């Protein structure tokens, strides 16, 4: 293997590891409440509070 092939494989592995880390971090059960909270807060607002014209 030459330098370009090694760099390509190393970069690909790095990107895969970063993506896996982001997925594991985001979908961690401990974070579920914090991640879902804005959605439920938005859905709980009434139409009067959302400022419809």
Do the domain assignments include residue 32? Answer: yes
Do the domain assignments include residue 26? Answer: yes
Do the domain assignments include residue 36? Answer: yes
The tens digit of pLDDT for each residue in 12-29 reads 999 999 999 999 988 888
Q: Is 53 helix (H, G, I), strand (E, B) or coil?
A: coil
Computed from CA positions of residues 22, 27, 31, 36, in that sequence, does the dihedral angle turn out positive or negative?
A: positive
Q: What is the pLDDT of residue 16?
A: 98
Q: What is the pLDDT of residue 34?
A: 79
pTM (two decimals)? 0.58
Task: Give me the number of domains the chain comprises.
Answer: 1
Do the domain assignments include residue 53? Answer: no
Do the domain assignments include residue 33? Answer: yes
Average pLDDT over residues 35-52: 70
Q: Residue 22 belongs to what domain range?
A: 3-48
The rounded mean pLDDT for the chain is 83
Do the domain assignments include residue 40? Answer: yes
Is 80 exceeded by the pLDDT of residue 46? no
């Amino acid at each position: 293997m030459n330098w370009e092939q090694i760099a390509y494989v190393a970069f690909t592995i790095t990107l895969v590891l970063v993506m896996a880390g982001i997925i594991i971090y985001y979908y961690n059960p401990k974070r579920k409440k914090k991640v879902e909270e804005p959605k439920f807060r938005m859905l709980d607002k009434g139409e009067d509070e959302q400022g419809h014209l």
